Amino acid sequence: MQSKMDVKTRVQKLIDTLEDNLKNKIIPFWNNTVDHEYGGFYGYVGQDLKANKYCDKGSVKMARILWAYSALANHYGNGLFINYAEIAYNYLVDCLYDQMHKGVFWKSSYDGNIINDTKHIYAQSFAIYGLCEYYLATKQKDAINLALEIYDFIEQKAYCKEKKGYYEQFSAGWEKQKNKLLANCFIVPTFTYNTILRYFF
């Protein structure tokens, strides 16, 4: 039977291995995907680790990157991570956020032109994640105000009182649509656990 010390040592070794992998492999990988020409981060990297500079950029991915670098900054207190978070934040706000109807669009072209103006609650949820974490790292009020604005629109436009759920897919002007972005070849769902999970957790 293993002693508590043995277990503690093994756990610490695992933690050290994971942190080493994070610092020396995962973070450098994402650092190298910054699009210095058009902003944000490249939309695709192949198995050969070469970026496709002309691939579309999605709001879900950009918001996840924003959250990740902001969380790294909050955990390690490293200002360098804020610089990367700011790159994602600026692209999300300047290129993917709808100033007229509010919320984030589904995706843009590599150079920041919107090519799918769908508003999906899945994407809005990740935008809230990223914006809140960025606010915690920077105390930038515009970020938390934007997160609250998106949340308010979700509650106003997506909540179904009868079913006590949230419709998921909308047009740019927040008109309800069939949930095709999260559909498969067998079913077009009205509500999905995938989106609810992201919105509430």
Please state the rounded mean pLDDT for residues 157-170: 87
Cross-strand partners of 41: 34
Strand ranges for 41-183 from DSSP E = 57-58, 107-108, 114-116, 119-120, 159-160, 165-166, 169-170
Residue with token string 């995706």: 107
Q: In what order do the strands lie in the sheet with 57-58?
A: 57-58, 107-108, 114-116
Instruction: Give this prediction's pTM.
Output: 0.90
Phi, psi of 58, deg, nearest 5: -95, 150
Is a pLDDT exceeding 70 seen at residue 124? yes
Q: What b-and-e string marks burial along 143-164, b requiring 16 or more CB atoms within 10 Å of the CB? A: bbebbeebbebbeebbeeeeee
Q: Residue 2's pLDDT is what?
A: 60
Lowest mean per-residue pLDDT among 50-64, 95-109, 161-175? 161-175
Query: Is 191 within 8 Å of 166 (Cβ atoms)?
Result: yes
Q: Distances in Å between the alpha carbon of 142 and those of 28, 89, 179?
A: 29, 11, 30
Please enumerate in sequence order all residues whose Cβ is within 8 A of that of 30, keeping only pairs 6 or more positions apart, or say none: 41, 65, 68, 69, 84
Please state the rounded mean pLDDT for residues 85-101: 97
Lowest mean per-residue pLDDT among 24-33, 38-47, 174-183? 174-183
Q: Residue 4's pLDDT is what?
A: 66
Domains parsed from the chain with CATH numbers: 56-200 (1.50.10.10)
**Residue 1 burial (CB count, 10 A):** 3
Q: Residue 188's pLDDT is what?
A: 77
